[in-house]
Chain A
Amino acid sequence: MGAEFVALSLTPILIGICVAVACALPGNFLLLRGQALIGDAISHVVLPGIVVAFLLTGVVATGPMLFGAAGAAVLAVIAIDLIRRLGRIEAGAAMGVVFTAMFAGGVLLLERSDTSSVHLDVEHALFGNLESLIWLDATGWASLVDPVALAGLPAELPRMALALLVVAAFLFLFWRPLALSTFDEGFARGLGLRTGPLGLSLVVVSAIAAVAAFDAVGSIIVIAMFICPPAAARMMTNRLGHQVAWSAGFATLAAIVGYVLAGYGPLWVGAAASVSAAGMIATVSGVILAVAAVAGPHRKRGS
C-alpha cells in the first residue's frame, strides 16, 4: 500500500465511491416510488445528449456535455410523460419507446459524425473507463497534502464529489416532503405540497448524478447503483433513514470490493491483465443484492 496504490488506485476508488453513493441516494426514493427504471432510461438518453452537445460545440468539454446530457434526460422524461398521456400508454412501454429511440439516434449520430479524433465512442459510453482515471502526479500518501500534486488530480474526482454534494444536499433539504410524497402522495398534496415539481426535481437530481457519473464510469454502473444498493437496503430495514444509510454503505462496499477485484483479482489467479472495473462493481452490487434477498431480515413482503 504505497506510492503505487495512491497513484493508480486511490483516485479510481474514490471516484467509484462518489459515483456509487451519488446514484444510490436518489435511487432509494425512485425505488420506493416505483420509478426504479427511470435510472435505466436516464442513463441511456445521456448518450444522445452528449453527442449532440459535441456536434454543436465541436469540442469534448465537460460543461457543454453535462448540459447536453442533462437536457436530454429532462427531454426524455417530458417525452415519456407526453406519450403516456397523449397515447394513453402505460408508463413502462412509453419509457421503452423513448429511451431506445433516443439511444439509437445517439448511436447513429455518433457513427455518422467524425469523432475519430476525440475520445467518444459507444463502448466508452457504456463501460466508461474508471481504470484510466489515475493520478500521475502522486508519489505517495504525502501527495494528499501537497498542493502541486493535488493540482494534477483527475478532474472527474472533484466533479463527482460536487455531484455527490448536490445530491446529498437536495435529499437533506427536502427530506420530509420527499418522504411524505413517496409514501402517501395524497396526504402530501392535502398538506399543500407540490408533489409534481417535487417528483420532477427528484428526477433532475438523479439525472445530475447519472450525467456526472456517466462521464467517468459509463452507464452500466449508473443503472446498477441506482437500483441494486437501495434494493438490497430495502431488505434490511423498514425505516427510510436506515434504508438510505444501508444503501450508501452497500454502494461504498460495492465500489471498493468491485474495483479491487477488477484490478487485483486477475493477478491473484495468475492472469496478466485486469478486467472492467465498472462491470465488476455492478457485479459485486448484484452479489450484495443476492445475499440480502436470501438472508435480509425484511426480505419478504409485509415483514
Chain B
Amino acid sequence: MLADALLLQLGYNATLVTLGAALLGMAAGVAGTFLFLRKRALVSDAISHATLPGVGLAFVLMVAMGGDGRWLPGLLLGAAVSATVGLLCVQWLTTRTRLGEDAAIGAILSVFFGLGIVILTVIQTMTAGRQAGLEGFLLGSTAGMLRSDAILLAVASAAVLGLVLILRRPLELAAFDPGYAEATGWSLGRIDLAMMGIVLVVTVVGLKVVGLILIVALLIVPAVTARFWTDRASHVVMIAGVVGGVSGYVGAATSAIAPALPTGPIVVLVGFALFAASLLLSPGRGVLASVLVHRRYQRRVHMRQGLLALAQGQPIFEALTRRLMHRAGLILPDGVATPEGQAAASKALLDETRWSIVRADQSFAAAAIRYDGLTPIEDVLTPDQLRDVDLRIAAPQVVP
C-alpha cells in the first residue's frame, strides 16, 4: 500500500497532491535556507501562526456573502493578508520598540493564534456554511481533497518553486555574503523583503498540506540538514531543496493511505529523520565522524607516548597503549619491544629530539608552531633543514 502511494498509483487527486507537496517541500527547503542563513528562521513561525485569523475571517466573510465558506483560494487569500499584517507587526515591534526579534515573534504568534481561535469558536456557533474542515489548517490534511484544490495546490507549489529559482541569485548573495551584496548595489532591505514575501507565499500554500503549526519545520529542517553535508553555498541550497522535496513527497504519499492521520506531522517527521541521520552520519560535521576523528587522535597520542617510553627503556603500564602497540606488532605481550618496535621507538625519539632543537631555535619559529607532539618533523622541514638540525644533535657540547 505504501509502495503504491510512493509510486503514485492511488489516483489522479492523490498524485497531484503528492507531487504538489514535493514541489512545495523543495520551494520551502530552498527559501528556508536563505531564512536560516540570515538567522531569521523563527520569523516564519510568527508568519504561519498569523495566518489563522485571516482564514477564519475569510470564512466568515464568504459565508456572509452567501458563498461556500470553504472555497480554498478565498481562505488562502485571507491567510496571506493576515500573515502580512503579522509580519509587519513583527517588523514594527523589532525596529520601533526596544523588544528583540524573538520577543516580537513570540508575541505576534501567540496573539494572532489566540485571535484565530476566538474566530474559530465564533464560526463553530454559526449555523450556516458547514464549518467542518477548518481544523485541517492547523495540522494539514491532504486526504480527500477536492479536485480543484489539488490542482490549485500543485500549480501554486510549482509557481512558488519557480519564483524561488528566479530570485535565487540575489537571495544567495544576501545570505552568504551580505557585505558583498551591498557593495555590488543590491539593497539588503529589498532582498530581505523579497525573502519574506517568498516565505509568506510558501507558508500560505503549505497551510493545507503541513498546517500552520508545523510549516516552520518545513522551512528550517531542510536547511539545517543540508548544512551538515557541505560548506558550499549553491550546494546547501540544492540539498535543502531535495530534503524538503523528499519530506513533502513521502509525507503526502503516506497520508494518502492513512487518511485519518494529519499530513503535517508525517511530513515533519520524515524531514526530522533525514536531519537525525545527517546529524549522526554526515562525513564532515556529523557526530559519528567527530567520534572517529577523536578516536584516531587518541590512538596516535597513545602510540607516540608508548614509543617514546620504549625508546627510553621505561615500562608501559597503560592498557590501551599496550594493546595498540601489541596489535601493531611493536611489542610482545609482556611489554618487550620487537625489532620493529625498537626501530619505531628510536625513530620517535629522533623525531622528538629534532623537534626540541627546532623549538629552541628562534629561526625555526614558523615551523615550531606546528609542533603538537604528533606530527613527524619530516612533514614540516625540508631535507636540507633536517640535515642542519641533525648536525646540531651530533655537535659536541662545549664544556664551560
Contacts and interface: CB of A to CB of B under 8 A. Distances in A.
A281 B279 contact: no
Given A103-B214, A105-B265, A108-B261, A89 B97 contact: no
B36 interface: yes
Interface stretch (A142-150, A179-187, A267-275): A267-275
A52 interface: no
Given A101-B272, A300-B98, A123 B266 contact: no
Contacts, number: 197
B265 A104 contact: yes
A228 to B, nearest CB: 5
A100 B221 contact: yes
Contact of A37 (B106, B117, B120, B275): B106
Interface residues of B, number: 57
A108 B107 contact: no
B381 interface: no
Interface stretch (A63-71, A156-164, A199-207, A219-227): A219-227
Centre residue among B45, B107, B265 by max chain A CB count within 10 A: B107
A279 B98 contact: no
B122 A275 contact: yes
A13 interface: no
A275 B115 contact: no
Interface stretch (B194-202, B222-230, B328-336): B222-230
A93 B41 contact: yes
A87 B224 contact: yes
Contacts of A89: 224, 227
Contacts of A226: 106
Interface string B263-288: 01110110010010001000001010
A37 B42 contact: yes
B242 interface: no
B110 A87 contact: no
Nearest to B95: A301
B390 interface: no
Nearest to B266: A108
Contacts of A95: 42
Main secondary structure of the interface of A (DSSP, over half): helix
Contacts of A92: 39, 41-42, 102
Interface in B35-88: 36, 39, 41-42, 45
A127 to B, nearest CB: 5
Interface residues on A, range: 35 or more
B111 A224 contact: yes
B187 to A, nearest CB: 24
A286 B112 CA distance: 8
B39 A90 contact: yes
Interface string B126-154: 00000000010011000000000000000
A37 B44 CA distance: 13
B206 interface: no
Contact of B114 (A112, A266, A283): A283
Interface in B85-113: 93, 96-100, 102-103, 105-107, 109-113
Nearest to B271: A101
A39 B42 CA distance: 14
Contact of B115 (A100, A266, A286): A286
B115 A279 contact: yes
A285 B111 contact: yes
A114 B276 CA distance: 28
Contacts of B272: 97, 100-101, 104
Contacts of A228: 107, 110-111
Contacts of B227: 87, 89
A221 B102 CA distance: 17
A234 B262 contact: no
Nearest to A262: B118
B116 interface: yes
A289 B106 contact: no
B117 A220 contact: yes
Contacts of A96: 41-42, 45, 216-217, 220-221
Nearest to B36: A93
A95 B221 CA distance: 10
Interface string A272-302: 1111101111110110010001000011111
B106 A286 contact: no
A87 B279 contact: yes
Interface in A81-122: 83, 86-90, 92-97, 100-101, 103-105, 107-108, 111-112, 122
Given A107-B265, A283-B114, A273 B125 contact: yes
A288 B275 CA distance: 40
Contact of A231 (B45, B99, B223): B99
B19 interface: no
B253 interface: no
A36 interface: yes
A54 to B, nearest CB: 17
Contacts of B42: 37, 92-93, 95-96
Contact of B93 (A34, A87, A293): A293
B183 to A, nearest CB: 25
B224 A286 contact: no
B114 A221 contact: yes
A231 B268 CA distance: 31
Interface in A15-74: 31, 34-37, 39-40, 44
Contacts of B262: 107, 111
20 contacts: A40-B45, A86-B287, A92-B41, A92-B42, A93-B41, A93-B224, A101-B221, A103-B214, A104-B217, A104-B265, A104-B269, A224-B111, A227-B106, A273-B125, A275-B121, A279-B113, A279-B115, A280-B114, A293-B97, A300-B97
Given A34-B100, A40-B110, 10 more contacts: A86-B290, A87-B228, A89-B227, A97-B221, A101-B272, A101-B275, A108-B265, A227-B110, A228-B107, A275-B125
Interface of A: 31, 34-37, 39-40, 44, 83, 86-90, 92-97, 100-101, 103-105, 107-108, 111-112, 122-123, 126-127, 220-221, 223-224, 226-228, 231, 234-235, 262, 266, 271-276, 278-283, 285-286, 289, 293, 298-303
